[in-house]
Amino acid sequence: MSTLTQSPAWLALRAHQMVMAQQRLRTLFQQDSRRFEKYSLSFDDILMDFSKQPINQETIDLLLALAHQQQLKYWIDRMFAGDKINSTEQRAALHIALRGDQPVYTDGEDVMPAVKRVLSQMTRFVSAIQSGESAGYTGKKITDIVNIGIGGSDLGPAMVADALKPYWTHGVIPHFVSNVDGAHLSQILQRLDPATTLFVIASKTFTTQETLANAHSARTWLLAQGAGENDIARHFAAVSTNRVAVEQFGIDPDNMFEFWDWVGGRYSLWSAIGLPVALAVGMENFHALLAGARELDRHFATAPLDKNLPVMLGLIGIWQINFFGATSHAVLPYDQSLHRFPAYLQQLEMESNGKGVTRDGERVDYSTGTIVWGEPGTNGQHAFFQLLHQGTQTVSADFLAPCRSHYPLGNHHRMLLANCFAQSEALMAGKSAHAVRMEMEAQGLDAESIRRLLPHKVFVGDRPSTTLLFNQLTPTTLGALIALYEHKVFVQSVIWNINPFDQWGVELGKQLAGDILNDLSREQLATAHDASTNGLINHFKSHH
Ligand code: F6P
């Protein structure tokens, strides 16, 4: 048994869960007319309502005791101080510096001058592209940006660019290619004019197989369309920590945007990895995105834990995962602009906290990072919500919605929000057998039909959710929302005593793919693997 699961705070929560599991949420609401006020928090224009979670004041006190026991405040301070909290890679985790305005030291050096230098380089580059001063090889203005990257070098900027579409007012359209499947690049290039297209090759390491393959194919395409070798410099930029590899690829060093090993890939959208976003929405809006995150960082670093949004969001997740046995977490944005948010959070949460050993290398005996998934409402309602309402799994859910839409269209936004609120209400309150019976009787159904149908129509309720409402999806609010989830992930990692900033679990597959690529290119049949893998390789070779 680990020290965590035997600790006083953990054991107290386990005992308390047995009590709370007997409570009906709708009864808790009936008993306390101030439940919403008591169990919701605000930060700027973000309202976080967690009153539909199975909690009372004692739950919060016990969760906070767990946070104190696990030294949450100490770890928050260490992150902000630039300590090397990513211990397996001996690195700091300083995404907060990318949007900061105060000196931050790591290895005795203030990182802020370098951060500001790259932001200034981005400003010059963005202005030159947007004004047409830096044009394509025929002299025409660049109109399309293709970001080639994967994982953190794709999901963050792609999600943000999409979410901020109303701010694409600079005549530059961003596109994102990540998959090594040739379909991805080909389908995007089919629509583009090489003379007006700029490729941004985004890769922290500049060694990622998928990204380099796509980058080489993009280069080949440009040359095949009439551009010369000398034109490459006008059409390629790179964002990376690996200057040598960027130069080897042939990208003009003036078009290379640096970032640093203290920025994790999935935490990098605030760095020059955000370049396609800045090109589409302008530097002013990019700065607003950073400012939103910076304010949330301040809140995280200074607010008391019980009033701290990321802390409470993280602790509620712990309550669900470790004490109520939630098997997954649904992220349900009632905002079409956030349709890539669940995919972005999948990497953030699952790559960060999908770990099976503690910081000290001990195997854990408790659940850590959960499965994150989701789709925008209302689409999800007509697909998987059935399982949320009546299935046998415990799924916790976050609803996210703006009060104002960027796209006022008739009564659409009211309808959207009505559905959002209706779903969390239905999940929480359910529908009792008595209510179902009354309804069917009123409809005039006979006794036999009522008996037969009743069990199918009952909703047990008590399905937990948290709702995040914000005024409008502006760059500032989006920055704050993303930072909220980044810090939530950190809070949970501290409770679980795991390192959220490494990702060793992705290495084995990469290594084996290299070997198998060689097998696929050889004449001889593969024999070096297990029978299944050999069989699949050889089947592919004979059908390719
Ligand atoms: O394979 C996982 C990963 O290393 C992610 O952590 C990272 O965001 C992604 O690959 C891309 O890596 P890079 O930016 O170095 O190409």
Report the nearest-CA residue for atom 8 of ligand 1.
152
Q: Distance from the CA of 187 to the center of ligand 1, in angstroms?
A: 23
Ligand 1 neighbour 147 (Cβ under 6 A): no
Residue 465 CA: distances (Å) to CA of 93, 222, 330: 30, 49, 9
Residues comprising the chain, all counted: 544
Ligand 1 centroid–CA 165 distance in Å is 25
Residue nearest atom 1 of ligand 1, based on CA coordinates: 506
User: Cα of 80 to ligand 1 centre, how many Å?
Assistant: 23
Q: Is the CB of 273 under 6 A from ligand 1?
A: no
Positive or negative CA dihedral for 2, 6, 8, 9? positive
CA of 240 to the centre of ligand 1 (A): 11
205 lines ligand 1 (CB under 6 A): yes
Q: Provide the β-strand partners of residue 465.
A: 397
319 and 53 Cβ atoms separated by less than 8 Å: yes
The pTM for the full model equals 0.97
| Atom 5 of ligand 1, residue of closest alpha carbon | 151
Residues of the chain with pLDDT under 50: none
Using CA positions, which residue lies closest to atom 9 of ligand 1? 151
Distance 188 CA to ligand 1 centre (A): 22
In the Cβ-directed half-sphere of 446, how many Cα atoms lie within 13 Å? 2
208, 271, 511, best to mutate for ligand 1 pocket (most atoms within 8 Å of CB):
208
Query: Which is nearest to 174 in space by CA: 274, 284, 292?
Result: 274
Regarding the beta carbon of 153 and ligand 1, being less than 6 Å apart is answered yes
| CA-266 nearest atom, ligand 1 | 8
C-beta of 405 in contact with ligand 1 (< 6 A): no
Check residue 274 and give its pLDDT. 98
How close is the Cα of 487 to the center of ligand 1, in Å?
20
Q: Are 318 and 458 spatial neighbours (Cβ–Cβ below 8 Å)?
A: no
Expressed in angstroms and rounded, the spacing between residue 445 Cα and the centre of ligand 1 is 59
First to last CA, the chain: 51
What's the CA-to-centroid distance between 242 and ligand 1, angstroms? 13
Ligand 1: distance of its center to the CA of 153 in Å?
7
Q: Which two tokens stand for residue 451?
A: 């008996």
Residue with tokens 């004979």: 542
Residue 506: CB within 6 Å of ligand 1?
A: yes
Give the whole-angstrom CA distance, residue 341 versus residue 360.
32
Element (DSSP H or E) covering residue 257: strand 256-258
Ligand 1 pocket mutation, candidates 154, 176, 204, criterion most atoms within 8 A of CB: 204
Say how far apart CA 329 and CA 394 lie, in whole Å.
9
User: Which of 95, 205, 267 has the most ligand 1 atoms within 8 A of CB, as the residue to mutate?
Assistant: 205
Distance CA 298, CA 281 (A): 25
Nearest atom in ligand 1 to 149's CA: 16
In short, whether 151's Cβ falls inside 6 Å of ligand 1 is yes
Probe target for ligand 1 pocket from 95, 177, 209, 503, with the most ligand atoms within 8 Å of CB: 503
What pLDDT does 2 receive? 78
**Residues that are catalytic:** 351, 382, 510
Give the pair of three-digit tokens for residue 169.
């007012």
Residue nearest to atom 3 of ligand 1 (CA): 151
Structure tokens at 252: 């003009």
**Cβ–ligand 1 contact at 266 (below 6 Å):** yes
Residues with Cβ < 8 Å from 341, sequence gap 6 or more? 159, 163, 331, 333, 374, 400
- Upper half-sphere CA count for residue 236 (Cβ side, 13 Å): 29
What distance in Å separates the CA atoms of residue 403 and residue 409, rounded to the nearest whole number?
14
Question: Does residue 203's CB lie within 6 angstroms of at least one atom of ligand 1?
Answer: yes
Whether the CB of 208 sits within 6 Å of ligand 1: yes
Strands (E), 132-189: 144-148, 173-177
Contact 340, 269 (CB under 8 A): no
The DSSP secondary structure of 456-503, one letter per residue, reads HH-B-----EEEEEES---HHHHHHHHHHHHHHHHHHHHHHT--TT--
Distance from the alpha carbon of residue 265 to the mean position of ligand 1, in angstroms: 6
Secondary structure class of 439 (helix, strand, coil):
helix
How far apart are the C-alpha atoms of 316 and 276, rounded to whole Å? 35
Closest CA to 395 of 488, 477, 462: 462
Q: Is 157 in the pocket of ligand 1 (CB under 6 A)?
A: no
In sign, the C-alpha dihedral spanning 25, 29, 31, 32 is: positive
